Amino acid sequence: MLDALLSQRAFPVHIRGYYLEAPLPDVFIGEICLLWQDVTCCVLLGRAQVVGLMNTIPC
């Protein structure tokens, strides 16, 4: 189970004002994502809402 959780981690690529860009597979626009301090810690830093998707499939 821990391996499944660790495989869903995402790290910010860009932070612009209130917008945080991170690769999140299998999400939907409007979905709420929880931002945790650490995988082993139960400190919730905040929540983020998916506002857009980017197509990253290589040509």
Question: How do residues 27-55 score in pLDDT, each as one tens digit?
Answer: 888 988 888 887 787 888 888 888 887 77
pTM (predicted TM-score)? 0.58
Asked if residue 54 belongs to a domain, the reply is no
Angle at 40 (CA atoms; ends 37, 35), nearest 5 degrees: 30
Confidence of residue 3 (pLDDT cuts 50, 70, 90): low
Domain that holds residue 39: 2-49
Confidence of residue 1 (pLDDT cuts 50, 70, 90): very low
Mean pLDDT over each residue of the chain, to the nearest integer: 77
Asked if residue 41 belongs to a domain, the reply is yes
Can you give the pLDDT at residue 25? 76
As for how many domains the chain has, the answer is 1
| For range 1-21, the mean pLDDT | 70
Asked if residue 6 belongs to a domain, the reply is yes
Asked if residue 24 belongs to a domain, the reply is yes
Asked if residue 55 belongs to a domain, the reply is no
Asked if residue 40 belongs to a domain, the reply is yes
Q: How many CA atoms does the CB half-sphere of 8 hold within 13 Å?
A: 12
